[in-house]
Structure 1
Amino acid sequence: MRRTGTTRRSALTATGAFALGAVLTGCGEPETRTGPGGTDARAASLRTGALRAAAARDSASLLSRYEQVAAAHPVTEPGLAPLGATVREHLAALGGRAKAPSGSPAPAPPAAAAGARAALSGLAAEERRVADARAAALLSAEPELARLLASIAAAGAAHAYLLTELAKETPA
């Protein structure tokens, strides 16, 4: 005869689902407002804006570096095009612009290395550096920006790996 009613397995499953729901609902940090105008919220907003602006500057610098390497070493262009397009999308997600507005000087990217392999290796190192900086910024970012930075940092780490492999395959 088949048993009906609540079994131990279904009770444990329901308890686990309830506990998981409680944990997930309590994960967000409560908004704290200490002053009359919510100075903590304002400070968090300023910090988030500064983190987003710094991440956008890093993406703009990376994008110009991709373009510089592709222009200096045309043999690398087919491999760099999809990665550069992704960096352009990251820049847009961060609210940055691909080109510097007129009137403000664009930061000069470092000169491309003499050989295509060296240029790709340098670009991979730059991707790693930026991905590490974004991962470190996660600790002080608001949840929404932290998710975006984590995603972009993971993509940057993948780019670094792909650039390293592309450097190995590129003729000297």
Structure 2
Amino acid sequence: MHRTGTTRRGALTTTGAFALGAVLTGCGGGPETRTASGGTDARTASRRSGALRASAARDSASLLSGYEQVAAAHPVTEAGLAPLAAAVREHLTALGGPAKVPGGSPTPTPPAAATEARTALKDLAAEERRVADGRAKALLTAEPELARLLASVAAAGAAHAYLLTELAKETSA
């Protein structure tokens, strides 16, 4: 006897197809500002994107300064920090450099490096984690192109935090 009607497998397949279609067409209704005609207000989106990019660039500039301070204060860490600092420099370039937002604050200067190399590396790892977490949160309001960049830089920051923690374990006091 042949079964007729809706099967569980058919219902799941249909539901999955609808869900995939919604994701692929972008039916998410993000936090964009809409005009009366239903379109996105390009100026508002551009300002928001510019502010997010400038903030991310300031964070990268601050991180780079932290790397330089730790390397200068603790020469034993210089070889391990050089490739990570180079990556942060590339992130800063990709984000447009240390641009200022009109009315924004200048690039913050990180506190001086700790007197012990391990502590300085752990502090730098904590700062990388904090910045990566902030960038991950910013993804929710970023335009698609900037969101992809922020996601990539946040992932790199999380990897840097891990590597810095491991470097701290290997570094002599």
TM over 0.5: yes
Deviations 1:33-79 (A, max 9, x none): 6269x772211110000000000000000000000100000000000
Aligned residue pairs total: 154
Which residue is equivalent to 2:142?
A: 141
Report the AA paired with residue 89 of structure 1. Answer: E
Report the AA paired with residue 159 of structure 1. Answer: H
Say whether the 8 Å CA contact 1:55–1:134 is kept in structure 2: yes
Pair 1:43-2:44 in alignment: yes
For 1:162 and 1:135, the matched residues in 2 are separated by 19
Secondary structure in 2 aligned to 1:158?
A: helix
Q: Which runs of 5+ in 2 are unaligned?
A: 1-15, 100-104
Identity level (%) = 83
Which residue is equivalent to 1:119?
A: 120
Pair 1:154-2:155 in alignment: yes
Q: Give the TM-score, by structure 1 length.
A: 0.77
For 1:50 and 1:32, the matched residues in 2 are separated by 16
Report the AA paired with residue 75 of structure 1. Answer: V
Say whether the 8 Å CA contact 2:33–2:44 is kept in structure 1: no
- Describe the shift of the 1:106–1:141 C-alpha distance in structure 2 as closer, same or farther (beyond 3 A): closer
For 1:83 and 1:167, the matched residues in 2 are separated by 14
Which residue is equivalent to 2:80?
A: 79
Report the AA paired with residue 24 of structure 2. Answer: L
For 2:54 and 2:106, the matched residues in 1 are separated by 16
Say whether the 8 Å CA contact 1:33–1:41 is kept in structure 2: no
- Describe the shift of the 1:23–1:64 C-alpha distance in structure 2 as closer, same or farther (beyond 3 A): same
- Describe the shift of the 1:135–1:67 C-alpha distance in structure 2 as closer, same or farther (beyond 3 A): same
Q: CA deviation at 1:20?
A: 5.1
Q: CA deviation at 1:107?
A: 3.5
**Cα RMSD (Å) of the superposition?**
2.9
For 1:68 and 1:88, the matched residues in 2 are separated by 14
Pair 1:64-2:69 in alignment: no
